[in-house]
Amino acid sequence: MTPEADAPRPDGRAARWAGQRERRRREFVDAALRAIAEHGPEVSTEKIADEAGVARTRVYKHFDDAADLQRAIADRAVRLITAELAPLWDPSGTPMQLITVAVGAHTGWLAEHGNLYRYLARHSQAGRRGGDAITDVRTAIARQLTVLFEHYLDTFDLDVRIAEPLAFGLVGLVDTSAARWLENPRDIELPELAALLVRWIWRVIDDTLRERGIELDPDSPLLVPGA
């Protein structure tokens, strides 16, 4: 017999089950997001099952355990917030406009999905690869921002090594400030907080560039040297 004849045939039922399982997992995560928004960060698996219209035991037919469900919710949160920040990854406009869009998207998402953010903070095991979920969200944003900073630093013939600490530092500033505001706003409205963060971020970037001999007008379109 040929090797092809000896090879096991694909199990069509297994493939169909895998596809159905992934579809059902997505549906349960959708239900979990609705339940978290309605019932808060301490939502139980029973509430999630109720939202999905199934018994609690049906949820764990598609997830290994509660931690597996929490990881799936965290993964969805990462995709949601990075999608909100999509305009930043194909930037156009002035530096101040870019910063304003990024800060507005980040703080606006957090304010709109406050219960989801609190849920992620309460379930540190939800993060992938053993990290916590909030760190996963910050890291996903900061890594993309690092690529953007590397592009501009290279354009201005500056040391691209500073891109990563700069990106992670700024993301941490925005995220921790907004998260604290979410719990204790101290009579500061969201637009005021966003405006403060925009100014602080620009001052950090401006100081970093001036130290290296580059002066940018924050209200003029970003031009490539020699263009």
Q: What are phi and psi for residue 63, nearest 5 degrees?
A: -130, 145
Cα separation, 103 vs 85, in Å, equals 9
Is 92 found in the same domain as 184? yes
Q: For residue 223, what pLDDT band results from cuts at 50, 70 and 90?
A: low
Point out the domain boundary residue: 15, 35, 63. 63
pLDDT at 3 over 70: no
Nearest to 32 by CA among 86, 83, 96, 76: 76
Exposure b/e, 183-202, CB count within 10 A at least 16 = b = eeeeeeebeebbeebbebbb
| CATH number, position 94 | 1.10.357.10
Cα–Cα distance, 102 to 221 (Å, whole number): 16
User: Within a 13 Å sphere around the CA of 73, how many CA atoms are in the beta-carbon half?
Assistant: 37
**pLDDT at residue 125, rounded to an integer:** 47
Q: How many domains does the chain have?
A: 2
Task: Let me know whether 44 and 81 are in one domain.
Answer: no
**pLDDT score for 127:** 45
Judge whether residue 79 has pLDDT over 90.
Answer: no
In a domain, 7, yes or no: yes
Confidence of residue 9 (pLDDT cuts 50, 70, 90): low
pTM as predicted: 0.81
Question: Could you tell me if 198 and 221 lie in one domain?
Answer: yes
Does residue 137 or residue 96 have the better pLDDT? 96
- Write the CB contacts of 26 (distance below 8 Å, at least 6 apart in sequence): none
Beta strands in the chain (DSSP E): none
Please report, for the domain that includes residue 49, its CATH number: 1.10.10.60
For the chain, helix (H) and strand (E) counts, in that order, are 11, 0
Mean pLDDT of 56-76: 90
Query: 143-200 pLDDT, tens per residue?
Result: 989 999 999 999 999 999 999 999 999 999 999 999 999 999 999 999 999 999 999 9
Is the predicted pLDDT of residue 113 greater than 70, yes or no? yes
11, 35, 63 - which closes a domain = 63
If asked whether residues 56 and 81 sit together in one domain, one would say: no
Could you tell me if 131 and 227 lie in one domain? yes
Closest CA to 177 of 127, 112, 84, 103: 103
Domain that holds residue 149: 77-227
Give me the percent of the chain exceeding a pLDDT of 90: 61
Q: Which three-class secondary structure state does DSSP give residue 21?
A: helix
Q: What percent of the chain has pLDDT over 70?
A: 87
Which tens digits make up the pLDDT trace of 28-47?
A: 999 999 999 999 999 999 99
Residue 42 lies in a domain: yes
Q: Over the chain, what is the mean pLDDT? A: 87
User: What was the pLDDT predicted at 129?
Assistant: 45
Rg (CA), the chain: 22
Q: Distance (Å, rounded) from C-alpha 49 to C-alpha 188?
A: 37
- Report pLDDT for 188: 97
Asked if residue 18 has pLDDT above 80, the reply is: no
